[in-house]
Chain A
């Protein structure tokens, strides 16, 4: 699978905070090829997380276009965006963002529920996904009973279970110690080797070392694209 999977065309994003208008993104152009492992790096407030949210269909740009697998997602309704998030994108967050009241198996099953997959198949696929991140034997535990690294692995299993083409990770190692962080990055690398496009928003220089491409962003603009 080659060619452009994510295309960002002259995207601007403005927020109003009280009376102040914040220009989070001020005209970003970016093309990401399918199967890439890409890092977006920049200081905090640079707009990298905003860019990730837009690519992840969690928000829509103020102006400009975003295409995912050729489909314009910049002006879709909330319902359609939800479906694209469910089908095409797997998220991994710094805060893990697991649902604490349910077991990790149920956490991993949740996106499949929104995809209307039958219960039995949901369970099978979620169990399989947990097996892949090495947590099959803990699947009936609550997230609060797990360590940070384990939680992040659950989050990765949850992101992978719907078999999306794009994995978006926002500071996935930010809340982990170096060693655990490295092991999480190893998983991302494996995911990428299996053909998925992985975009990691990060401060972590280790991610930069691993990535095939590094997009540097500052003050809402891409300053440099580093290709290896």
Chain B
């Protein structure tokens, strides 16, 4: 009988196309907006996460502040090792200092960030060499005058390519000669680290030949694969607070924190917008209830006939309830189609990743059925309560 009722509903809708369309419009709009909002929200989160992931989600930065003797005493290159030893989940910790200096090769000059690093720098950032090799521990320990060029620095200083093995000068009060041992592949800037316009020298060489390192400005932390970056960065904060007693003297930043802030904002916004859209579903439900009441009134005679033929009140109630649910479900499905289409077009324009959320589809289907049951129940009960004789006599 259930299938007959569904079939019957469709017959009724087919006979009243415009009315059916208008009565489900509220549901269609409600579901379409919910789907659009959740899909866009999801797409936004995924896009943000993807962007952050390309920066290296596993990286944590510590920026230090202050120039007093206390901070100089604490933020030493050795602190990197201490962090690595004392904080669980830390794979690499590298002290990084950088300074803008003028580079020269023949007549070409180039202003670059000269960055003091150690060998594991490339591991932390997944940074690859194009030619030659990166700085080794030996280069560092022996304070060799070697330099590795970022992609853009290499193009500016060696427009014809073939930089490895050649010499450049780095000006710091006076010109110092450095041998190029490698050229890096291009890499997108992350959190103030502009890879391509930088050149890299061993930290000890930098300290001795270019600029004395009184305080490490920046520690770059690489975390172990699969570790929870957020909890590791919290542990680092705890460790530094214990060490310094002054939470103003450092700042721990990870792409994961930034991503989380973004996701948090989008989630809250989503919830809020979905709530508003849900109200439109309720309004849509009232529309359904209205049309079902009209339908019951119009079909009083039919109800009377059905009762005369042996339909129990339960059967009549079922018939109208099924009709209401079919109506809202139908609206829900159209709404999903519209919502998906709309959000697809919007993501296309925003160049976001299109990330439909299938759980939202399921929820929309369930919710619109629930609206059908809730708002269809009263008209259905009214129909079932009609007295057979009165309904039959109804003209």
**A: which residues have CB within 8 A of B?**
53, 56, 58-59, 78-79, 82-83, 85-87, 91, 93, 97-99, 101-102, 110-111, 113-116, 158, 162
7 further A-B pairs in the complex, CB-CB below 8 A; given A101-B11, A114-B306: A59-B388, A79-B312, A85-B308, A101-B12, A114-B1, A115-B310, A158-B309
Find chain A residues with CB under 8 A from B74 CB: none
Checking A53, A87, A102 against B11 with a beta-carbon cut-off of 8 angstroms, the contacting residue is A102
A4 to B1 alpha-carbon distance, docked (Å): 35
Find chain B residues with CB under 8 A from A101 CB: 8, 11-12, 15
A83 to B315 alpha-carbon distance, docked (Å): 11
Pairs A–B under 8 Å by Cβ, sample size 22: A58-B307, A59-B389, A78-B312, A82-B307, A82-B312, A86-B309, A86-B311, A91-B308, A93-B392, A97-B308, A98-B305, A99-B302, A101-B11, A101-B12, A101-B15, A102-B11, A110-B306, A113-B1, A114-B1, A114-B315, A116-B1, A162-B310
Q: Is B4 an interface residue (CB 8 A)?
A: yes
Find chain B residues with CB under 8 A from A91 CB: 308-309
Chain B residue at minimal CB-CB distance from A122: B4
User: Are A97's CB and B392's CB within 8 A?
Assistant: yes
A99 to B310 alpha-carbon distance, docked (Å): 14
A86 to B311 alpha-carbon distance, docked (Å): 8
Find chain A residues with CB under 8 A from B306 CB: 99, 110, 114
Find chain B residues with CB under 8 A from A113 CB: 1, 4
User: Are A59's CB and B387's CB within 8 A?
Assistant: yes
A83 to B308 alpha-carbon distance, docked (Å): 10
A170: min CB distance to chain B, Å: 10
Find chain B residues with CB under 8 A from A82 CB: 307, 310-313, 315
**B: which residues have CB within 8 A of A?**
1, 4, 8, 11-12, 15, 301-302, 304-315, 387-389, 392
A78 to B390 alpha-carbon distance, docked (Å): 14
A118 to B389 alpha-carbon distance, docked (Å): 29
User: Are B11's CB and A114's CB within 8 A?
Assistant: no
Q: Name the 7 nearest CB pairs between A and B, nearest first.
A: A86-B310, A114-B310, A82-B312, A111-B309, A58-B388, A59-B389, A79-B312
Chain B residue at minimal CB-CB distance from A79: B312
User: Are A114's CB and B311's CB within 8 A?
Assistant: yes
Chain B CB within 10 A, most for which of A78, A82, A87, A111: A82
Find chain B residues with CB under 8 A from A114 CB: 1, 306, 309-312, 315
A86 to B306 alpha-carbon distance, docked (Å): 10
Checking A58, A79, A102, A116 against B308 with a beta-carbon cut-off of 8 angstroms, the contacting residue is A58
Find chain A residues with CB under 8 A from B308 CB: 56, 58, 85, 91, 97
Chain B residue at minimal CB-CB distance from A161: B309
A54 to B114 alpha-carbon distance, docked (Å): 103
Find chain A residues with CB under 8 A from B388 CB: 58-59
A86 to B389 alpha-carbon distance, docked (Å): 15
Chain A residue at minimal CB-CB distance from B390: A59
A24: min CB distance to chain B, Å: 11
Checking A83, A93, A99 against B312 with a beta-carbon cut-off of 8 angstroms, the contacting residue is A83
User: Are A99's CB and B305's CB within 8 A?
Assistant: yes
Find chain B residues with CB under 8 A from A116 CB: 1
User: Are A85's CB and B392's CB within 8 A?
Assistant: no
Find chain A residues with CB under 8 A from B12 CB: 101
A102 to B304 alpha-carbon distance, docked (Å): 16
A142 to B179 alpha-carbon distance, docked (Å): 96
A115 to B306 alpha-carbon distance, docked (Å): 12
User: Are B309's CB and A58's CB within 8 A?
Assistant: no
A202: min CB distance to chain B, Å: 18
A108: min CB distance to chain B, Å: 10
A93 to B304 alpha-carbon distance, docked (Å): 12
Find chain A residues with CB under 8 A from B392 CB: 58, 93, 97
User: Are A97's CB and B313's CB within 8 A?
Assistant: no
Find chain B residues with CB under 8 A from A79 CB: 312-314
User: Are B11's CB and A85's CB within 8 A?
Assistant: no
Checking A58, A87, A102 against B389 with a beta-carbon cut-off of 8 angstroms, the contacting residue is A58
A110 to B301 alpha-carbon distance, docked (Å): 15
Find chain A residues with CB under 8 A from B314 CB: 79
Chain A CB within 10 A, most for which of B15, B305, B310, B388: B310
